[in-house]
Every structure is written in C-alpha cells, then in structure tokens.
Amino acid sequence: MNIQTEKLKLIEWLIQLKDTSVLFQVKEIMENVKPVENLSIISPEELTKRALIANQDIEDGAVYSLEDVLNEDWDQ
C-alpha cells in the first residue's frame, strides 16, 4: 500500500462528501488521534543489543505465551 496514494484518495473522497454526520465523525477521529511522540531511530547496535536481551529472556523462560496475553484482563 502506498500511503501517499491512500491519503490522496481520502482527500478526494472528503472533498466530495455531502453527509455532514460522516464529516463530523471523521473530524472527531482526527481530534482524538494523538500523534506518535518520542520516537527515535534505533541504531543497528541498539537493535542488536535488544535482540540479544530478548533471546536471553527466551532462553531463561522469561516470556508469556500468546494465550496468556490474550486472556489478560487489560481493563484493570
């Protein structure tokens, strides 16, 4: 998917939109979507370090199964 193409399609669709209720819904989404902040580029060295730590965690059994994660009550 080309993100720029998708954005242009969305803009074209919005320009032709006549349903104000949909427009207000899109506006509400826009206002509630927070930009991603505090992202930094990870160096190859840092990525390697993190991978080695993750591999060690796996070897040590310090992991959670997908089933455990899916069954977790995240609303607490």
pLDDT (tens digit per residue) in 2-54:
889 999 999 999 999 999 999 999 999 989 888 777 778 889 999 999 999 99
Per-residue confidence (pLDDT) for residue 34, from 0 to 100: 81
Q: Which helix (H) or strand (E) holds 50?
A: helix 44-60
Per-residue confidence (pLDDT) for residue 7, from 0 to 100: 92
**59 or 33, which is more confident:** 59
- pTM strictly above 0.85: no
Measured CA distances, 53 to 17, 39, 41, 42, 45 (Å): 50, 21, 19, 15, 12
